[in-house]
Amino acid sequence: MQHFRSVHDVLDLPALLEKALTYKRLPRHHHGLGVGKTLGLVFLNPSTRTRISSQIAARNLGMEVVVFNADKDGWSLEFGEDVVMNGTSVEHIREAAPVLGAYFDVLALRSFPALVRKQEDESEYILEQFVRYSGVPVISLESATLHPLQSFTDVLTIKELFAEKRRPRIALTWAPHIKALPHCVANSFAQWVNTWGEADLIIAQPKDYELDEKYTAGATITNDQDEALEGADFVYVKNWSATQPYGTVQCSDANWMLTLDKLQATNQAKIMHCLPVRRNLELSAEVLDSGSSIVVQQAANRVWAAQAVLASLLYRRV
Ligand code: CP
């Protein structure tokens, strides 16, 4: 693996899943692998789980880690080509990225979408310029369109918990929120589950919230949440903003929030969410506090997914 931006950068997904499960059993199995290497975690947006799990993962491999909150502590960056920098930006990515690449053996970046112009977000111009100019392997810690470390963890968690000799049925359901959130987690989850190919995925969302087919191809799409929940083994709950018009809030129907009553239709489904979650808005407290919720176990698995990715970049394999 050269970089980790989406599932398409993974050469052998089953092997990467096995690697992560090995690290869960034996966290310091490859402790020598990262000795003498430094990981730079660069944040343009907030994070709790991704930030901490990546640090633990790197240390399990023997790496040094530097966390740089570039949004608060760094010079404001310019990404435009051929611009006259007479505005608020102080430093161009053409200098900033190679400087960071000179300091670090692996660079990781969190950079959310602006949710203003779809084409601009889809271009991944921030992440891709770090890739282009840093000269070192780059890991996405969530970019404008995808959250691959989260989705790798999600598939890992499903694989770990589903013991039956059949394909699990997974429902990804939209949930209400007061803010316009990125599509990254939902896009990425669909992309990883479909690439994994060992589960049946159904996605439920209100009208005007349909995700791009380039991520969802292979999944069943519906506007009926009850249809998605019927017989589901796993229910992944997540809000994302409308796609028509892009990046807006068009639905605030509280009936989309998952309750214990709705879970009756499932196959005793386990409930997933990437976190952070707003209780009793996006997901009911009664579900989060029930035995059906696996959100904490899911978040804990972030370490093993990050460790497998880091090890693969250090090895340049799978
Ligand atoms: N799920 C997730 O990425 O959490 P953080 O935003 O806290 O990193």
Residue 315 has what pLDDT?
Answer: 87
- Which 3 state secondary structure label does DSSP give 18? helix
The answer to whether 208 and 253 have CB atoms below 8 angstroms apart is no
Q: Is 300 in the pocket of ligand 1 (CB under 6 A)?
A: no
Q: Which atom of ligand 1 is nearest to the CA of 51?
A: 8
246 forms bridges with which residues in the sheet? 243
Residue 318 has what pLDDT?
Answer: 53
Scan for tokens 């370490």, then name that residue. Answer: 303
Phi, psi angles (nearest 5°) of residue 297: -60, -40
Q: Is 275 in the pocket of ligand 1 (CB under 6 A)?
A: yes
What distances in angstroms separate CA 229 from CA 256, 273, 318, one per listed residue?
A: 12, 15, 34
Q: Is 238 in the pocket of ligand 1 (CB under 6 A)?
A: no
**Per-residue pLDDT tens over the stretch 246-263:** 999 999 999 999 999 999
Q: Is 243 in the pocket of ligand 1 (CB under 6 A)?
A: no
Q: Is 150 in the pocket of ligand 1 (CB under 6 A)?
A: yes
Q: Is 13 in the pocket of ligand 1 (CB under 6 A)?
A: no
User: Three-class SS string for 234-301?
Assistant: EEEEECCCEECCEEECCCCCHHHCECHHHHCCCCCCEEECCCCCCECCCECHHHHCCCCECHHHHHHC
Q: Which atom of ligand 1 is nearest to the CA of 50?
A: 8
Q: How many whole angstroms from 81 Cα to the centroid of ligand 1?
A: 31
pTM for the model: 0.97
Residue 184 has what pLDDT?
Answer: 98
Q: How many whole angstroms from 258 Cα to the centroid of ligand 1?
A: 21
Q: Which residue, by CA, sits nearest to atom 6 of ligand 1?
A: 47
318 residues of the chain, pLDDT tens digit each: 999 999 999 999 999 999 999 999 999 999 999 999 999 999 999 999 999 999 999 999 999 999 999 999 999 999 999 999 999 999 999 999 999 999 999 999 999 999 999 999 999 999 999 999 999 999 999 999 999 999 999 999 999 999 999 999 999 999 999 999 999 999 999 999 999 999 999 999 999 999 999 999 999 999 999 999 999 999 999 999 999 999 999 999 999 999 999 999 999 999 999 999 999 999 999 999 999 999 999 999 999 999 999 999 998 655
Q: How many whole angstroms from 84 Cα to the centroid of ligand 1?
A: 35
